[in-house]
Structure 1
Amino acid sequence: MSRIALWVSRGVTRVTETALGPYQSAIVRIGFAGTWLLFLLRELPHRHELYGPDGPWSWELAHQLVASNHAFTILMWSDSRVWFEIVYGLAVLSSALLLVGWRTRTMSVLFMIGVLSLQNRSIFMGDGGDNVIHLMAIYLVFTRCGQVWSLDERRARRARAALARGECPEPDRTGPFLWVALGAVLALATGAGRIPLSWDIVFWTLWAVQGLWWYAGRRAPQGEPRILLDVIANLVHNAALLVIMVEACLIYSTAGWYKIQGSRWQDGTAVYYPLHLDYFSPWPALSDLMASNGLMVLLVTYGTVLVQVAFPFTLLNRRAKNVLLALMMTEHAVIAVVLGLPFFSLAMIAADAVFLPTSFLRRLGAEAGRLRDRLAPGQDRRTLPQPRGEQPPAPRADEPTHAGSTA
């Protein structure tokens, strides 16, 4: 009994003192921000038909639907083209800044607003990949996804290096400015009655917590209020990371079990049919080559079902999990090329990345760092050592230092 109590005590200590999976949360952030950014840039010439005033789903129809299902979208604030361009530009900018990890706490909220606003404006334009991005954009708000591989991390390391040299870090003026500016925008939107009450509470809570975090970190960096906030942030981060993992498992398990019930999946011919659809044949010769091989069609059909159904059960075995994870990512890469669904595949690969082992992600980051050094050899990084181990040294990159950082 005492051993069980000891395990429970260690588990509670771990989830409260540490934001787990810093590399996994970072790769998920990069994956989904990059996927959404690439999609918005590719559809830039067609944005008005997809989500804007020239789309088949008119602003009036969208307004009626939003009024009935209470979905959140700031595109319903106005039907002008200027407002649409502002929102679309905000979505592009927030995706790019979240990708590089600049003010990740603020950008994750703006990223979520951009995703929900565009997708809820024209709900019939999406596919399975859009649904995954929709959910993950909400979950990312509650993660500390800027601990590694971000400009926030670099700023925090530079502040620590300055302290180590006995210098005073430069005060952060950008963070307080963002906090005040976004608070003013939120106040105007609330006063005009533009935001539903439930979302209004969410946004004001996030804004107030960020201000409280800055105040506690500036007044008493090692005090009990800051320690309490840090524990709560770790708990929220770890819970959100767990939800992301469970969501990925549910996607695969439900997809696999539904496939089992289909007769075409049972007889091993299901993959044959989409290969002959013009809409899913960007490379007709490649599709015909795959469809002409009956054994390949059979193996891919049964293999897809097997991998999707088995994956949640392999999480208890690291080696089996890594093998199936590689197979699933390879399958999505093939889908991107053969069926012409690059953004669906990228979204699923980004969701799968939460299960990648830390050792692999660290090696990936080291390779990316060496590539960066070759591309920019003139920069001196001797005072900016990379974090070692599972957890970067405190203070974390997405936390304000004593010099002040609010966003």
Structure 2
Amino acid sequence: MTVRDLRQAGQGDVLGVVERLLAFFRRMTLQPLALYSAASIRIGLGLLYATYLLREYPYNDQLWGPGSPWSPALADRWLENYHWPDLVNFIYSTLITDSPVYFQAFYGLSIIVALLYAAGWHTRAIGIVHTFCVMAFFTRSWQLTDGGDMAIMLLTFYAAFMASGRRWSLDARRHRKRMEAAQGKPVPEYRFFAGRGAETEELRRRFVVLMHNGAMGVFAAQVMMIYCSAALVKVMGLKWQEGTALYYILQVSWLQPFPALNNWMTGPGHLVPLAVIAYLTVFSQLLFPLAVFNRTVKYCWLLVMLGTHIGIIVTMGVFQFSAIMIIGDLVFLPDSFWRRSAWYVKVLRTPRGKQPVPPPLPDPALPEDAKTVPTQKGQPHSARATSGHG
């Protein structure tokens, strides 16, 4: 092989990598990923926070209101010490008030916003308002926060940038009715952009898809980071290295929703199974970022994590953190999983002797009207991407 042949071979490899990167970035602006998972995350976040506020309603004044030990004066002094920008201070000081009427009105409004967000009513706007409400509560009395509160605040912020209203929402239902009324005519997703030109609509559409895919990626990275950091902290602990950590955790009196169950699990003969579960917990969290990239292994891994979180809820009563992590794990489920699951449900509900519904088609690489179509001169062009609602 000559030097010229080697150089040409290297140029071919570089061009191949560049083409693959360009195809990847093009796909990120044309095909929104995991829309059903985004919708399930939206529903989970809204219902979880509404349940949280309803559960703490009898004590809301002592936790976040004017009657809290962390008084509005102390909260103001805490904010002044950090010298944050005015916008940050405005967001963090929303609940710093001496008015019980204002506090109770904001509390009730936050519950309504969380339920509307779960229902998918004007998802884009309500998602921003919902994020604002979540941050206002979790920064009002920072002594009450724990890992679950911080995870809810971060994942809710990322979810506000997703196109989570395209499936299982009132927005999707309204858009479907508008398309049926139009009888096949093109229907704009947002009336604000109606009549502003095809280029403006196409630019907006691609920007929404890119923002959605980017938010899904950051959301997934945050979940993986939480698992990895938790595993690394456990690895540094001597009791986790010895396998006795769960034995001591289950004996903490204020972490026992069912004391009889904890006493049985820490009884004679159960130390070895607890050690195995402890090691399994550490390795499942540590290897989680690697497992979710395998299409076959990730489903088994997600089942292990689901069992772990359910076990934490039952044995230690840490509901909020486990619930938000179960919701966060949904980001790794593709649309094909939800379609196949819906098909299995329909098959089970089909009476005997009747023809079951056909299985769903596999997900296309790109939407049909967004695929590259060669022209007569050999120059490719892209049609408009499929419409959706954010």
- Tell me how large the CA RMSD over aligned residues is: 2.7
Q: Give the equivalent residue in structure 2 for 1:239.
A: 214
Is the partner of 2:388 in helix, strand or coil? coil
Task: Quickly say closer, same or farther: Cα 1:394–1:163, change in 2 above 3 A.
Answer: farther
Q: 1:322 aligns with which of 295, 299, 304?
A: 299
Matched, 1:98 2:117: yes
What code does the residue aligned with 1:36 have? Y
Q: CA deviation at 1:233?
A: 1.7
Alpha-carbon distance in structure 2 between the residues aligned to 1:54 and 1:256: 38
Q: CA deviation at 1:67?
A: 2.7
Q: 8 Å contact 2:65–2:97 — kept in the other structure?
A: no
Q: 8 Å contact 1:290–1:296 — kept in the other structure?
A: no
Query: Would you say how many aligned residue pairs link Structure 1 and Structure 2?
Result: 341
Q: How does 1:271-310 map to 2 (within 5 A)?
A: 271-292=246-267, 293-310=270-287
Q: Give the equivalent residue in structure 2 for 1:20.
A: 33
Q: CA deviation at 1:77?
A: 5.6
Matched, 1:249 2:224: yes
What code does the residue aligned with 2:388 have? R
Task: Quickly say closer, same or farther: Cα 1:238–1:288, change in 2 above 3 A.
Answer: same
Q: 2:126 aligns with which of 107, 114, 119?
A: 107
With a CA cutoff of 8 Å and minimum separation of 6, indicate the structure with the bigger relative contact order.
1
TM-score with structure 1 length normalisation?
A: 0.77
Q: CA deviation at 1:234?
A: 1.6
Q: 8 Å contact 1:136–1:244 — kept in the other structure?
A: yes
Percent identity for Structure 1 against Structure 2:
32
Alpha-carbon distance in structure 1 between the residues aligned to 2:23 and 2:39: 25
Alpha-carbon distance in structure 2 between the residues aligned to 1:77 and 1:53: 8
Q: How does 1:1-16 map to 2 (within 5 A)?
A: 1=12, 2-16=15-29
Q: Deviation digits for residues 53-75 of structure 1, max 9, x if unmatched?
A: 22221111111112333453353
What code does the residue aligned with 2:159 have? L
Q: Give the equivalent residue in structure 1 for 2:166.
A: 147
Task: Quickly say closer, same or farther: Cα 1:244–1:94, change in 2 above 3 A.
Answer: same
Gaps of at least 5 residues in structure 2 are 1-11, 349-359, 368-384
Give the structure with the higher percent helix.
Answer: 1
Gaps of at least 5 residues in structure 1 are 173-212, 372-385, 399-407
Q: How does 1:204-243 map to 2 (within 5 A)?
A: 214-216=191-193, 218-220=194-196, 223-243=198-218
Q: CA deviation at 1:359?
A: 2.6
Q: How does 1:43-62 map to 2 (within 5 A)?
A: 43-62=56-75
Alpha-carbon distance in structure 1 between the residues aligned to 2:65 and 2:96: 13
Between 238-247 and 72-81, report the one with greater CA deviation.
72-81
Q: How does 1:316-395 map to 2 (within 5 A)?
A: 316-364=293-341, 389=363, 394-395=386-387
TM-score with structure 2 length normalisation?
A: 0.81
Larger Rg belongs to: 2
Q: Deviation digits for residues 196-232 of structure 1, max 9, x if unmatched?
A: xxxxxxxxxxxxxxxxx6432x123x51112112222
Task: Quickly say closer, same or farther: Cα 1:49–1:352, change in 2 above 3 A.
Answer: same
Alpha-carbon distance in structure 2 between the residues aligned to 1:90 and 1:387: 42
